[in-house]
Amino acid sequence: MLDQDVRTQVLIGEANLARLHQTRVCIVGLGGVGSSAAEALARAGICLFTLIDFDRINPTNLNRQIIALHSTIGQTKTDVLKERILDINPDANVICHNEFCAIENRPNLIRDQDYILDAIDSLGPKVGLIEYAVQNSFRIITVMGAGNRLDPSQIRISDISETVNCPLAKRVRKFLRRRGIKSGIPCVYSMEPAHIPEELEDEPDEMVIHRGRKRKTVGSISYMPVIMGMYTASWIIRDLISVK
User: Where residue 202 falls among pLDDT bands split at 50, 70, 90?
Assistant: very low
Is residue 10 over pLDDT 50?
Answer: yes
Confirm whether 206 is domain-assigned.
no
Indicate the number of domains in the chain.
1
Confirm whether 84 is domain-assigned.
yes
Q: What is the CATH number of the domain that holds 38?
A: 3.40.50.720
Residue 27 phi, psi (nearest 5): -110, 120
Confirm whether 187 is domain-assigned.
yes
Instruction: Classify residue 156 by burial, with Cβ atoms within 10 Å: 0-12, 13-18, 19+.
Output: middle
User: Where residue 211 falls among pLDDT bands split at 50, 70, 90?
Assistant: low
Confirm whether 163 is domain-assigned.
yes
User: Where residue 213 falls among pLDDT bands split at 50, 70, 90?
Assistant: low
DSSP state, residue 13 = -
pTM of the model: 0.92
User: Where residue 240 falls among pLDDT bands split at 50, 70, 90?
Assistant: very high
Q: Where are the beta strands (DSSP E) in 53-154?
A: 93-97, 115-118, 139-143
pLDDT of residue 196: 78
Cα separation of 158 and 166, whole Å? 12
Tell me the per-residue pLDDT of 128-177, one tens digit each, with 9 for 90 and over.
999 999 999 999 999 998 999 999 999 999 999 999 999 999 999 999 99
Task: Calculate helix-pair angle for 223-240, 32-44, nearest 10 degrees.
Answer: 40
Confirm whether 65 is domain-assigned.
yes
The mean predicted confidence, pLDDT, of the chain is 92
Confirm whether 115 is domain-assigned.
yes
| Angle at alpha carbon of residue 36, lines to 90 and 58, rounded to 5° | 100
Q: What residue numbers bound the domain in which 31 lies?
A: 14-192+215-240
pLDDT of residue 198: 62
Tell me the per-residue pLDDT of 27-63, one tens digit each, with 9 for 90 and over.
999 999 999 999 999 999 999 999 999 999 999 999 9
What's the distance, Cα to Cα, between the start and end of the chain in Å? Answer: 25
Tell me the per-residue pLDDT of 83-133, one tens digit each, with 9 for 90 and over.
999 999 999 999 999 999 988 899 999 999 999 999 999 999 999 999 999
Beta bridge partners of 157: 188
Confirm whether 91 is domain-assigned.
yes
pLDDT of residue 203: 42
pLDDT of residue 207: 36
Confirm whether 227 is domain-assigned.
yes
| Percent of the chain residues past pLDDT 70, beyond the cut | 91
